[in-house]
């Protein structure tokens, strides 16, 4: 992890320093230090239960670590005052695994909601923005559909349109391809990369879908279940050849050691 030292003071982007994640006395991960560059896709990977979602929840300020810090564009997340944290929240878009569209609202109303709640935009401007965001995710003209009428892949796209409603700089995705067939999953990967490029988004994705990892990740971190810390950081194409044994096994889908299997 020596390369991290070069990235510890990003003016733009996210820096995580010496983060410790625990539930009471139960350690999940510790000594996590890494940097995420602007307009890149960073994948958090590791076997089930290693702490990927827990790390993501800390990074979007839904949980507080007892040690370490998370810095967005040079500003510490945890010690920032309320106004600063609220401003930062607006720059973060999140797509949870469940997508969580409001089922009683149309797709258009779902995407409009963050703008109604957090901006002073008028109805016409919001309608324009909704149309623009839906077009960006390949759902042009789908405003009046109900979420239940959409396929799983379309629901993810609608969730993405809502996640980017406020033009965030950071987009967090928790298992974006979960439950999707391989083709739909591939299309979602292409969309995520398009959003990175078109909107200069920094995307932070939790996933253990190997095809997705190799397709979308500019950079990645592997959270190890045994040592409770990150044991690899970098481009997955490099890690699959030159990473530690457990990381190569994970990326090659080879059988993992018995002690690790027991904790799954
Ligand atoms: N609220 C909680 N209270 C106590 N322990 C928790 C809580 N949430 C998660 N854990 C534990 O923390 C560890 C990490 O969980 P987490 O969900 O972050 O893993 P994950 O890598 O995202 O797993 P998966 O890939 O299966 O979603 C697990 O051992 C889990 O049981």
Tell how far the Cα of 48 is from the centroid of ligand 1, in angstroms: 8
Question: What would the two tokens of residue 129 be?
Answer: 């923005």
CA distance 111 to 124: 14
Residue 11 lies inside a defined structural domain of this protein: no
Residue 210 lies inside a defined structural domain of this protein: yes
- Ligand 1 and 177: CB distance under 6 A: no
- Eight-class DSSP state of 61: T
Percent of the chain with pLDDT over 70: 91
Residue 127 lies inside a defined structural domain of this protein: no
pLDDT tens-digit profile of 33-75? 999 999 999 999 999 999 999 999 999 988 888 899 999 888 7
Tell how far the Cα of 22 is from the centroid of ligand 1, in angstroms: 10
Question: What would the two tokens of residue 52 be?
Answer: 């990927």
- Ligand 1 and 23: CB distance under 6 A: yes
Q: Whose CA is nearest to atom 4 of ligand 1?
A: 23
**Nearest CA to 5 among 35, 40, 44, 41?**
35
Q: In the sheet where 75-76 sits, what is the strand order?
A: 26-36, 14-23, 67-72, 75-76
Tell how far the Cα of 152 is from the centroid of ligand 1, in angstroms: 25
Q: Whose CA is nearest to atom 14 of ligand 1?
A: 51
Residue 41 lies inside a defined structural domain of this protein: yes
Residue 98 lies inside a defined structural domain of this protein: no
Q: Tell the burial category of 102 from Cβ atoms under 10 Å away from its Cβ (0-12, 13-18, 19+).
A: exposed
- Ligand 1 and 51: CB distance under 6 A: yes
Q: Whose CA is nearest to atom 30 of ligand 1?
A: 49
Substitution site in 25, 43, 46, 54 for ligand 1 pocket (most atoms within 8 Å of beta carbon): 54
Residue 239 lies inside a defined structural domain of this protein: yes
ipTM score of complex: 0.96
Residue 226 lies inside a defined structural domain of this protein: yes
pTM comes to 0.90
Tell how far the Cα of 263 is from the centroid of ligand 1, in angstroms: 12
CB 52 within 8 A of CB 46: yes
CB 134 within 8 A of CB 154: no
CA distance 79 to 90: 17
CA distance 40 to 203: 6
CATH number of the domain within which 242 lies:
3.40.50.300
Tell how far the Cα of 110 is from the centroid of ligand 1, in angstroms: 29
Percent of the chain with pLDDT over 90: 70
Range of 184's domain?
A: 37-61+87-91+168-262
Residue 204 lies inside a defined structural domain of this protein: yes
Query: What is the average pLDDT score of the chain?
Result: 89
Q: Whose CA is nearest to atom 2 of ligand 1?
A: 23
Task: Provide the number of structural domains found in the chain.
Answer: 1
pLDDT tens-digit profile of 195-228? 999 999 999 999 988 999 999 999 999 999 999 9
- Ligand 1 and 243: CB distance under 6 A: no
3-state secondary structure of 235: coil
- Ligand 1 and 49: CB distance under 6 A: yes
- Ligand 1 and 48: CB distance under 6 A: yes
Residues paired with residue 171 on neighbouring β-strands, in sequence order:
93, 203
Other Cβ atoms closer than 10 A to 2? 6
């Amino acid at each position: 992890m020596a390369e991290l030292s070069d990235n510890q003071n990003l003016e733009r982007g996210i820096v995580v320093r010496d983060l410790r994640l625990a539930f009471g006395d139960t350690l999940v991960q510790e000594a996590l230090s890494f940097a995420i560059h602007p307009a890149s896709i960073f994948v958090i990977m590791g076997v089930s239960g290693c702490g990927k979602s827990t790390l993501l929840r800390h990074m979007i300020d839904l949980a507080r670590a007892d040690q370490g810090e998370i810095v967005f564009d040079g500003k510490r997340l945890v010690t920032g005052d309320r106004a600063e944290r609220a401003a930062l929240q607006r720059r973060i878009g999140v797509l949870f695994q469940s997508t969580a569209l409001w089922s009683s609202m149309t797709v258009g109303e779902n995407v409009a909601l963050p703008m109604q709640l957090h901006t002073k935009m008028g109805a016409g401007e919001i309608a324009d923005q909704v149309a623009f965001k839906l077009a960006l995710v390949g759902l042009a003209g789908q405003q009046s559909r109900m979420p239940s009428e959409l396929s799983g892949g379309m629901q993810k796209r609608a969730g993405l349109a809502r996640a980017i409603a406020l033009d965030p700089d950071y987009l967090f995705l928790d298992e974006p391809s979960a439950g999707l067939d391989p083709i739909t999953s591939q299309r979602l990967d292409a969309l995520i990369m398009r959003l990175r490029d078109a909107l200069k988004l920094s995307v932070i994705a939790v996933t253990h879908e190997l095809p997705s990892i190799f397709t979308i990740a500019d950079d990645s971190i592997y959270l190890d279940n045994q040592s409770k810390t990150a044991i690899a950081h970098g481009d997955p194409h490099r890690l699959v050849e030159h990473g530690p044994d457990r990381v190569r096994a994970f990326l090659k889908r080879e059988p993992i050691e018995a002690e690790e299997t027991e904790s799954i």
